[in-house]
Copies of this chain bind each other. A is one copy, B any other.
Amino acid sequence: METGPEPGLRERKKQRTREAIFEAAMELFDERGYDHVTLAEVARAADVAPATVFTHYASKEDLVYSMRHEVNERLRTAVNERAGQIGVLAAVKEWMLGMHEYFTESPEAVRRSRTFSRLLNDNPALWNRSVGFIHERQMLLVELLAERYPDADPFLLEAAAAQVAAATQTAVRYYQRDLAQGMAREEVLARAAVRADQVFEQLERGLGDVF
């Protein structure tokens, strides 16, 4: 996104360390499962001290979910870029489909995404942690909605954000399940598009018609 003034050697080394830890962790998690890998092992594989892991990642889970920061930033950008053109809901939908593409845009990306998805699908406890992170996205949505609709009732705005976050998360989970099962990229994206249409129509029109 933003290309600051050439990061120095120190910063580049730091980034390399961070990535080395991430790569080592994902490989080990993929091989033996999240629960059967200790942080000490990750550190050893990445050739750093155990304490160093915590200077880059707040926790073991954070290692798995580290990409969520970028994902959320992209949500913010997607909504702001389209301000004045389309509604927030439509922008969120675009962002979601864009992320699905992004996660499969190269063979390398596909590999990583499959690993990530398989990790979550194999480990319910780990998946449950992801629910906790929905809250971060929900708060971001509150912020984005509040900017666009400053006169809305704060409670209803927060409730709306919660619904959008929950619904998109459900769609993402189905997407990840398809991905984890090894479905072809085109198929995965096609299904995701259909579900996106369905779930955003549900969000816009409400549950009253059906339930």
Contacts and interface: CB of A to CB of B under 8 A. Distances in A.
A109 interface: no
Contacts of A204: 206-208
The quantity of this chain's copies bound in the complex is 2
A89 interface: yes
Contact of A166 (B165, B198, B205): B165
Given A128-B132, A131-B135, A170-B162, A156 B198 contact: yes
A59 to B, nearest CB: 11
A interface, over-half SS: helix
A48 B29 CA distance: 38
A202 interface: yes
A81 to B, nearest CB: 18
Contacts of A135: 128, 131
A152 interface: yes
Contact of A162 (B167, B205, B208): B167
